[in-house]
Amino acid sequence: MQTILNYIDGELREPNAGEWLDSIEPATATPYARVPDSDNSDVAAAVDAAKRAFPSWSRTPAAERSRILLDIAARIDDQREALARAESIDNGKPISLARTVDVPRAAANFRFFATAILHTESESHRTDDVAINYTLRQPRGVAGLISPWNLPLYLFTWKVAPALATGNTAVAKPSEVTPMTAYLLSEICRDAGLPPGVLNVVHGLGPKVGEAMTLHPDVPTLSFTGGTATGARIGQNAAPLFKKLSLELGGKNPNLVFADADLDDAIETSIRSSFANQGQICLCGSRILVERPIYAEFVRRLVEGANALRIGDPLDDDTGFGALVSAPQLDKVKQYVDIAREEGATIECGGDAPTSLPDRVKSGYFFRPTVISGLGPTSRVNQEEIFGPVVTVAPFDREDEAIDIANSTAYGLSSTVWTQNLSRAHRVADRLAAGTVWVNTWMLRDLRVPFGGTRQSGVGREGGEEALRFFTEPKNVCIQYPLSDS
Ligand code: TXE
């Protein structure tokens, strides 16, 4: 059994109260590590360390901050295999996915923000011949960073990298469900010479550690990715304390396939956008709307593709589809499939656990890729985020109808449109309620673009310039011109 430790003031430490939680490997349903069950006092120590580190780190030249963060990126690359293995054990995802997506993207996050701070521009505004204004963008102090379990290292570094690059110090909490890669990152940061207190990682439960962070008066900035209900709770805590808030929440993303789409491409990508990471990516397209002339063929081939996914031990290089992250998540998925059945839906494929699994993972949290048809847009299965390997398919006849259905949930994170008609692509993209619209692709990411959602998918944007601005406070300096001697 491995032991995961907090990272506070540059040291790896046990939790103050000596309490621990079990970390479960989802593929085997057995504990593989113990993780600190930290409390208020650990959070207080982490915030104190971050406060002490702030004056020096915020004044450290950008080039030096950049050098350290680039060193961290290089070490993530060097340790790719160990990190990918840890993430696969922690999360249940296929190791091939962790190796090709999660870990390289975590390094890319550090590299992107480490270099971005070397190229920022600052604004100045001249007020006629009366005054000149210039805007300073200053780090805000201690940032509180809270991340979820689905892309543990990627989403954790997506917050840590811009916070530190811009000169903030941070207290970060990974999900208690998947703590291992954040722990390994702590070691990497220490070895890279990140000064003590610049990054502090406190492990533990949301209602204890997360809550203490959101209520701490000396954490003026909060960046959160996770469930919508948790986001609402954090908003309630943060508002009276006037904290600056970024909330990246859930999605119920539509995937619109028009009859003129490149069908091979649309089907291949839709299999990925439905079932990558067992459907546990906030950007997964969970409602597939297909124009009627191609509906039957699309569903047949989607089902074929879903059935062909190789379910198995996440640590096996050939596995394409792993375990769900936890027992509660598996139960949630089953409940929604039960609801679909009660509503008279047709389960086109999946709908239950796989029957033949390798011995090592026989007791894991597995559920087959599931395609459901026959449900109307108002069904709970089409309205609520399931966050698992379950997609619905439905035909549509008109573009307007497809857009109305696409926009009919409370969410607005991302959408995908498949068409060869350029006018339609622009027209539909313009009308979809979403922070990101992908046309003829999915999850293609450019770290410079704003990322986030509308409605119940969140508040604020991350990525690129948006993140640099979020983690800094603008200050205008207005100097009157002494243009004449009078
Ligand atoms: O998220 P939580 P969970 C969605 C998805 C999933 C649901 C619940 O629908 O089924 O959220 O997942 C911390 N104060 N997404 O339970 O609980 C918690 O410890 C402060 C979408 O994992 O929101 C963890 O670190 N923090 C999402 C983080 O919040 C609190 C990805 C997220 O946990 C807290 C994951 C509190 N009161 C789940 N309570 C996406 N959009 O990417 C919990 N936390």
Whether the predicted pLDDT of 300 surpasses 60:
yes
pLDDT value at residue 157: 98
Q: Which residue's CA is the closest to the ligand 1 atom numbered 13?
A: 206
pLDDT value at residue 1: 87
> What is the arithmetic mean of pLDDT over 165-177?
98
Q: Which residues have C-beta within 8 Å of that of residue 38, sequence separation ≥ 6?
A: 6, 15, 16, 17, 19, 202, 203, 204, 208, 209
Residue of 151, 170, 132 whose CA lies nearest to 7? 170
How far is the CA of 33 from the CAs of 19, 89, 465, in angstroms?
Answer: 13, 10, 38
Measured CA to CA, the distance from residue 199 to residue 142 in angstroms comes to 9
282 Cβ inside 6 Å of ligand 1: yes
CA of 331 to the centre of ligand 1 (A): 16
Q: Which residue's CA is the closest to the ligand 1 atom numbered 6?
A: 227
> What is the arithmetic mean of pLDDT over 108-137?
96
pLDDT value at residue 384: 98
CA of 37 to the centre of ligand 1 (A): 17
What angle in degrees, to the nearest 10, is found between the helix axes of 422-431 and 399-406?
A: 30
> What is the arithmetic mean of pLDDT over 175-204?
98
CA of 246 to the centre of ligand 1 (A): 14
Direct distance between the N- and C-terminal alpha carbons of the chain, in angstroms, rounded to an integer:
79
pLDDT digits (tens, 9 = 90+) for 56-106: 999 999 999 999 999 999 999 999 999 999 999 999 999 999 999 999 999
- Our answer to whether residue 282 is catalytic in this structure is yes
pLDDT value at residue 486: 56
Q: Which one of the listed residues 25, 87, 248, 466 is annotated catalytic?
A: 248
Q: State which H helix or E strand residue 125 sits in.
A: strand 124-127
326 Cβ inside 6 Å of ligand 1: no
The neighbouring-strand residues paired with 35 are 21
- Which atom of ligand 1 is nearest the CA belonging to 385? 9
What domains appear along the chain, each with residue ranges and CATH number? 2-249+453-476 (3.40.605.10), 253-439 (3.40.309.10)
Q: Which residue's CA is the closest to the ligand 1 atom numbered 7?
A: 227
Measured CA to CA, the distance from residue 7 to residue 29 in angstroms comes to 27
Measured CA to CA, the distance from residue 185 to residue 443 in angstroms comes to 25
175 Cβ inside 6 Å of ligand 1: yes
- Tell me the whole-structure pTM to 2 decimals: 0.97
- Which atom of ligand 1 is nearest the CA belonging to 176? 19
pLDDT value at residue 484: 65
- Our answer to whether residue 349 is catalytic in this structure is no
- Which of 105, 156, 175 maximizes ligand 1 atoms within 8 Å of its Cβ, making it the mutation to test the pocket? 175
pLDDT value at residue 485: 63
Whether the predicted pLDDT of 246 surpasses 80:
yes
pLDDT digits (tens, 9 = 90+) for 413-422: 999 999 999 9
419 Cβ inside 6 Å of ligand 1: no
227 Cβ inside 6 Å of ligand 1: yes
Pairing relationship of beta strands 124-127 and 131-139 according to DSSP bridges: antiparallel
Q: What are phi and psi of 85, to 5 degrees?
A: -65, -45
- Which of 230, 243, 284 maximizes ligand 1 atoms within 8 Å of its Cβ, making it the mutation to test the pocket? 230
Q: What are phi and psi of 76, to 5 degrees?
A: -65, -45
Q: Is 358 exposed, middle or buried (0-12, 13-18, 19+ CB in 10 A)?
A: middle
Q: Report which DSSP code applies to 6.
A: E
CA of 280 to the centre of ligand 1 (A): 12
Pairing relationship of beta strands 131-139 and 199-201 according to DSSP bridges: unpaired
pLDDT digits (tens, 9 = 90+) for 324-352: 999 999 999 999 999 999 999 999 999 99
pLDDT value at residue 324: 98
Grade residue 481 by pLDDT with cuts at 50, 70 and 90.
Answer: confident
Q: Which residue's CA is the closest to the ligand 1 atom numbered 26?
A: 210
The answer to whether the beta carbons of residues 253 and 416 sit under 8 Å apart is yes
CA of 227 to the centre of ligand 1 (A): 4
Q: Which residue's CA is the closest to the ligand 1 atom numbered 35?
A: 226
Q: Count CB-CB contacts under 10 A for residue 418.
A: 29
pLDDT value at residue 413: 98
Grade residue 397 by pLDDT with cuts at 50, 70 and 90.
Answer: very high
- Which atom of ligand 1 is nearest the CA belonging to 237? 14
